[in-house]
Amino acid sequence: MIIIDYKDTRPIYEQVAGKFKALILKGALQADEQMPSVRSLAMELSINPNTIQKAYAQLEREGFIYTVKGRGNFIAGTEKLLEEKRKSCLDEILKRIKEVMEYGVTGEEILTLIQQAVCTGAE
């Protein structure tokens, strides 16, 4: 499920949090599903439990998981998170389109690229 890349410049806790975010947003982890315990995940990944705890704290701050005292961590509802991520991505695309148009890329070229991306993504 989670693989740590020791060549990655990001701290390990950010890698762990990022992998869980991706799994949650893709729907691989469902709302109210229990997360692995800090201790078991730390043993599985052979890393310090404090690192997992830091990743879980970040996920909780960002609304991806919630904690039930004495029971563990659970996946939060993802509809709002997914909508925010979609909006953020679309805003980024719009920003990049405006940027490339400043460098002379035409609307027609952009539409062609979008069509290619949609066709490639549909396969």
Rounded-to-integer distance, Cα 56 and Cα 66, Å:
9
Structure token pair of residue 82: 């997914």
How far apart are the C-alpha atoms of 63 and 77, rounded to whole Å?
A: 9
pLDDT tens digit sequence for 73-103: 999 987 777 788 889 889 999 999 999 999 9
In sequence order, what DSSP letters do the residues of 20-62 get, joined into one string?
HHHHHHHTSS-TTPBPPPHHHHHHHHTS-HHHHHHHHHHHHHT
pLDDT tens-digit series, residues 16-53: 999 999 998 888 898 899 999 999 999 999 999 999 99
Check residue 66 and give left, alpha or beta (phi > 0: left; psi -120 to 50: alpha).
beta
Q: In this predicted model, what pLDDT tens digit does every residue of 49-77 receive, in sequence order? A: 999 999 999 999 998 999 999 999 999 98
Which pTM does this prediction carry? 0.69
